[in-house]
Chain A
Amino acid sequence: MEADPKEARKSTKGGWIFLLAGLIGALIVGWIIFPVLLYSEKSQPLTFSHASHGPESDAGLDCEECHFFYKDGTFSGIPKIKKCIECHEDPESPLTESPEEVKLFTEYVGPEKEIPWLIYSRQPDCVYFPHIAHVKMAEIECSVCHGDFATRKTSPPYKVNRLTGYSIDIWGRNIAGYKRNTWDNMKMDDCAECHTKKGKEDNNACFVCHK
Chain B
Amino acid sequence: MEFNRRNFIKFAVGGTGGILLSPLPWKLIDDIAIWTQNWSWVPVPVRGKFSYLNSVCTLCPGACGIQVRKVGSRAVKIEGRGDYPVNQGGICPLGMAGLQILYNEGIRWKAPMKRVGPRGSQEWKEIPWDEAIDELATRIKGLREKGSPEKLAAIDGNQSRSTMALLIKRLLSSIGSPNYMVMPREEDTYDMVNFLMQGSRGPIAFDLENADFIVSFGCSLFDGWGAPGRMLSASREWVKNKTYLVQIDPRTSNTASKADLWLAPFPGTEAALALGMAHVIIKEKLYSKEFIENHTFGFADWFEEDGVKHKGFSRIVLEKYSPQVVENITGIKGRVIIEVARKFASAHAPIALAGRGKGTLPGSLYEFMAVHALNALKGRVNKKGGPLIADDIPLAQWSDPEYDPVAMDGLKKARVDLAKTPRYPFSRSLVNKFTETINNSHGSPIDTLMLFSANPAFTIPDSQSFIKAMAKIPFIVSFSPFMDETSLMADLILPDHTHLEKMADIVWPTGIQYPLYALSQPVVKPIYRTEHSGDVIISLAKRIGGPVSGSFQWANFEEALKERVKGLYDSGREKVSWADIKENGYWSIPAHSFEGGSDIFQTPSKRFEFFSTEIELAIKAYSKGKSFDDALLDLGISSKGDEVYMPHYEEIKSGADKKEYPLLLFPMELINLASGWIGNPPYLNKTLFDHQLKRDDLFVEVNPKTASQYRLKEGSKAIIRSPKGELRVRIHLFHGAMPDVIFIPFGLGHTAYDKYLKGKGVNPNEIIDQVEDPLSGQPVWWNTRVKLIRI
Contacts and interface: CB of A to CB of B under 8 A. Distances in A.
Direct contact of A and B (CB under 8 A): yes
Nearest to A17: B1
Interface string A1-37: 0000000000111111111111111110111001100
B23 A125 contact: no
A38 interface: yes
Interface stretch (A142-150, A163-171, A191-199, A201-209): A163-171
A19 B11 contact: yes
A22 B15 contact: yes
Contacts of B2: 11
Interface stretch (A47-55, A68-76, A94-102): A68-76
Given A38-B27, A125-B45, A164-B31, A20 B22 contact: no
A125 B50 CA distance: 17
A30 B19 contact: yes
A11 B19 contact: no
A175 interface: yes
B16 A26 contact: yes
Nearest to B1: A14
Nearest to A12: B6
B24 A29 contact: yes
Given A18-B7, A18-B14, A22-B14, A164 B34 contact: yes
Interface string B141-154: 00000000000000
A12 B7 contact: yes
A94 B49 CA distance: 29
Given A125-B45, A164-B34, A19 B10 contact: yes
A157 to B, nearest CB: 20
Contacts of B8: 18
B590 interface: no
Contact of B23 (A17, A72, A124, A176): A176
A110 interface: no
Interface string B28-55: 1001101101100000110101100000
B7 A15 contact: yes
Contacts of A72: 50
Contacts of B7: 12, 15, 18
Interface residues of A, number: 39
A70 B7 CA distance: 66
Given A12-B6, A70-B49, A163 B11 contact: no
Task: Count chain A CB atoms within 10 A of each CB in B10, B13, B17 and give the residue with the most.
Answer: B10
A156 interface: no
A22 B1 contact: no
Contacts of B422: none
Contact of A29 (B22, B28, B45): B22
B40 to A, nearest CB: 9
Contact of B19 (A20, A26, A35, A175): A26
Given A26-B16, A161-B31, A165-B38, A34 B24 contact: yes
B3 interface: yes
B17 A23 contact: yes
B18 interface: yes
A36 to B, nearest CB: 12
Contacts of A13: 1
Contacts of A11: 2, 4, 6
9 contacts: A13-B1, A15-B10, A16-B10, A22-B18, A25-B15, A26-B15, A74-B50, A125-B44, A163-B34
Given A22-B14, A26-B19, A30-B22, 13 more contacts: A17-B1, A18-B10, A22-B10, A22-B11, A23-B17, A24-B18, A25-B15, A29-B18, A34-B23, A34-B24, A38-B31, A74-B49, A163-B31
